[in-house]
Chain A
Amino acid sequence: MADTVVEPAIEKGLEPERREQGDVRTEEMLVNMGPQHPSTHGVLRVVLRTDGELVLDAIPHIGYLHRCAEKIGESLPPYQYIPYTDRMDYLAGMNNNQAFAIAVERLCGIEVPPRAQAIRVIFSEFNRIASHLVALGTYGLDMGAFTPFLYAFREREMILDLFEAACGARLTYSYPTVGGVRSDLPDGWVERCLEFLEYFEPKIDDYNNLLSFNHIFVKRASNVGVISREDAIAFGLTGPILRASGVRWDLRKVQPYDGYEKYDFDVPIGEPGGVGDTPRGVVVGDCWNRYFVRVLEMIQSIRIMRQALAELPDGDIMAKKVKNLKLPVGEVYVEVENPRGQLGFYVLGDGSAIPARVKARGPSFCNLSIIRHVARDVLLADVPAIIGSFDVVMGEVDR
């Protein structure tokens, strides 16, 4: 009894000399994260080469949701392809429909009536709020905060109800279409929408108190996965991720479409810690800034919506002569500002009713391509924090 030595479990497997030294050196290991993993936001697979807690390399593998939507675009007339576009980024269907509609309108030279433009702006900003609410909620989940997710989805549910009232669908709208929007707003919709904005605006303070300025959350997300301004531009990052790196760039300001030049709004960017409300320890281009830029963008979206709802013009909601549309010989490349970045459509027409080529540039696809560069030499626990802060939608990465 006295002779038996109880070995600690951790030392049992070690060589005798290493046991003596108390060495806990580890070997490199490949860890497969995903495709089914709660914090990869869909079917993203990342192969991590780890040394203990340290990630040496993170190699993303995509394509699990690939449906070759671009091939489908080559066999359908544009108005029939609209429903396929909202299945790409299924959290921002309105913006995707709008992007493809604008591309076809530019190619065919269709003028959209002012009322249809204003309705499109209202819905794309509304969808931006709904999409950012999912981003905030699920990012809280990744960081171990469950409650903000429930609050974010409570408000998103009300937005989806308003979408349903206007177009009958909750996720895949196909509401903005080539030449305008599919149907006019129902009676009383504008009042209901203004009522919701009145209710929603103070809720942003609640999210800030619950999550944004929560000490644990700030410690967890600040100074993690920092992307410099130069890297962001070189890798073609767009949207909140580019702005979080300190570039005040917004396509709605630079190349306004659908009458965005009429509305007054600011473009928020990532700020270093200590400036304004920004907590100490935060760095420009880190996960916290990528998260917080989305919160600030929701406030700007409310501003744009209030202006658009107040000055909603009367008139047609559809352009004339969009039936039996023939695409002229020529090509066009159009980008619009989606909640996740710049969504581009390249459409090649050859004189028939069906495009010869449709190419979609998904913002998440480009944003994700920097992951190998960022998730290097970080701690294993920071990888979900970095991936979550990109807010990728795999439907759009894989198309």
Chain B
Amino acid sequence: MAVEEEVFDILRERFGDAVVSAEASGAHPYAVIKAERWPQVALFLRDDPRLLLNMLRCISSIDMIAEDKLACVYDLMYLADDCGDELITETREFAVRIETPRDDPVIPSVAHVWPAADWHEREAYDMMGIHFSGHPDHRRILCPDDWVGYPLRKDYVFPLEYHGIPGTTEYDLPNPRH
């Protein structure tokens, strides 16, 4: 976990209070960054010679309904770019979490930093209803364009009808979480 501690220190030194908190214990260390500073931090994470996290692996959206927040977890990785055709044996990874209020969820887009973010952000918008300001192509990606609601929110109500197609919850087992 020493590597993550170093990244936390670098970020705190450079961005100060933009780093809300840092979670170093556990299997998945991450730093919580303020949403409005995220594009600057993202550029720094990608371009700083000590970090060079040039690959965005995944954006996982989370519904933190108990705290009335939505969040996105960005999993980043360093993939050596100067190795020629040698086998790459070392890497470093880092995760960033951006939290946003549930009633007005907006996170600045980082599609210009990592082009891979384009589809991941569209998926997070489609499934969780988080808006990504400045996204080049802000549309739903998996659901149809006229779909109502965001399926992965915890309070999502399954539609009983879509364009004349009946949907039923009749056979569904009661959700053990409720």
**B-contacting residues of A (Cβ < 8 Å)?**
62-63, 66, 68, 70-71, 74-75, 106-107, 229-230, 233-236, 246-250, 253-255, 267, 269, 330-333, 335, 342, 344, 346, 348, 352, 354, 356-357, 359, 361, 365-366, 368-370, 373, 398-399
Contacts and interface: CB of A to CB of B under 8 A. Distances in A.
Contacts of B61: 359
Nearest to B30: A331
Contacts of A399: 142
A332 B27 contact: yes
A89 B62 CA distance: 23
Contact of A62 (B62, B142, B151): B142
Contact of B75 (A68, A75, A330, A333): A333
B169 interface: no
A233 B119 contact: no
Interface stretch (B3-11, B31-39, B86-94, B99-107): B86-94
Contacts of B118: 369
Interface of B: 26-28, 54-58, 60-63, 73, 75, 79, 81, 83, 85-91, 95, 114-116, 118-120, 123, 127, 140-144, 151-152, 175-177
Given A230-B81, A348-B62, 15 more contacts: A63-B141, A70-B152, A71-B152, A74-B177, A106-B27, A233-B54, A235-B115, A236-B114, A253-B88, A269-B85, A330-B26, A333-B28, A346-B58, A366-B119, A398-B142
A62 B58 contact: no
Contacts of B73: 331, 333, 346
Nearest to A365: B119
B81 A233 contact: yes
A357 B88 contact: no
Nearest to B118: A369
11 contacts: A63-B140, A66-B142, A68-B127, A70-B127, A233-B79, A248-B83, A249-B88, A254-B89, A344-B75, A354-B177, A365-B119
A235 B152 CA distance: 25
A359 B60 contact: yes
Contacts of B86: 248
A75 B56 CA distance: 28
A221 B6 CA distance: 46
A277 to B, nearest CB: 16
B79 A247 contact: yes
Contact of B85 (A236, A248, A255): A248
Q: Which 5 A-B pairs have the closest CB atoms?
A: A236-B116, A359-B60, A63-B142, A361-B58, A346-B60
Contacts of A235: 115-116
B85 A234 contact: no
A373 B81 CA distance: 21
Contacts of B56: 236
B57 A342 contact: yes
A356 B89 CA distance: 34
A361 B119 CA distance: 11
A246 B82 CA distance: 11
Central interface residue in A106, A236, A361, by most chain B CB within 10 Å: A236
A333 to B, nearest CB: 5
Contacts of B87: 248, 250, 253, 267
A76 B87 CA distance: 40
B70 to A, nearest CB: 11
Given A332-B27, A357-B60, A63 B143 contact: yes
Nearest to B122: A369
Contacts of A361: 57-58, 60
A128 to B, nearest CB: 19
